[in-house]
């Protein structure tokens, strides 16, 4: 596991209601970008700035409840990506019992920042999904990190400039996601029977 630190929250250029969170490798150069909605971005920004509200917000309340029952957040682990969305776990300890709970990455980070718990990512996932800071503040991300709508726009742009090899790779990525979803659906149906 590799420890990450929150580096920045940015608005997407074309939609000020949507934000991205930049997480950087604590002792390295690799970074990942996590998409956030407005409310999640606000919750993380409050925690980063140490802002308090008159009444507890959802992530604050969650922390108060777990603390009241002697449950301590040990760390957050970003452990997977599915259709361009990072998946995470909140890993808790109560006495000798350790338990990890599935969570949206944005919620897990908001809770971790409030409790001071570290944020980790699987090294192989970071290597696969890390971004490079290109010139003029633009970022280059791997195609596995993009959502399907972004991939479809990229295919159109690749065809316009006659980069058919890239268009083919992008199409294969979309198709592999649909194949994986179909397989998961079929497996679930078989297990339910």
Q: Say if residue 39 is exposed, middle or buried (CB neighbours under 10 Å; 0-12, 13-18, 19+).
A: middle
Query: Is the model's pTM score more than 0.75?
Result: no
Provide the residue-wise pLDDT of the chain in tens; the chain has 193 residues.
999 999 888 876 555 567 888 899 998 888 888 888 888 888 999 999 988 888 988 899 999 999 999 999 999 999 998 877 899 999 999 999 999 999 999 999 999 999 999 999 999 998 888 876 555 555 556 666 667 777 787 788 778 888 888 788 888 888 877 775 555 555 555 555 5
Residue of 9, 44, 4, 1 lying closest to 24 (CA atoms): 4
Query: What is the residue extent of each domain of the chain?
Result: 2-131, 143-192
User: Phi then psi for 63, rounded to 5 degrees?
Assistant: -65, -40
Q: 3-state class of 102 per DSSP?
A: strand
Residue 46 · residue 63 · CB < 8 Å? no
Strand (E) positions, 37-96? 72-82, 85-94
What's the CATH code, domain 2-131?
3.10.690.10
Residue 148 · residue 174 · CB < 8 Å? yes
């Amino acid at each position: 596991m590799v420890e990450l630190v929150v580096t920045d929250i940015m608005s997407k250029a074309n939609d000020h209601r949507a934000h991205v969170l930049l997480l950087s490798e604590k002792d390295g150069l690799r970074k990942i970008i996590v998409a956030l909605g407005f409310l999640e971005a606000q919750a993380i920004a409050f925690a980063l700035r140490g802002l308090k509200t008159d009444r507890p917000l959802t992530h604050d309340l969650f922390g108060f409840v777990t603390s009241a029952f002697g449950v301590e957040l040990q760390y957050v682990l970003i452990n997977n990506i599915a259709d361009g969305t990072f998946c995470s776990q909140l890993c808790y300890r109560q006495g000798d019992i350790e338990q990890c709970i599935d969570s949206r990455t944005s919620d897990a980070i908001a809770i971790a920042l409030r409790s001071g718990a570290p944020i980790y990512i699987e090294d192989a996932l970071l290597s696969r999904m890390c971004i490079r800071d290109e010139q003029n503040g633009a970022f280059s991300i791997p195609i596995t990190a993009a959502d399907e709508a972004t991939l479809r726009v990229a295919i159109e742009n690749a065809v316009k400039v006659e980069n058919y090899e890239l268009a083919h790779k992008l199409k294969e990525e979309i198709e592999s996601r649909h194949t994986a979803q179909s397989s998961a659906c079929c497996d679930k149906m078989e297990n339910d029977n």
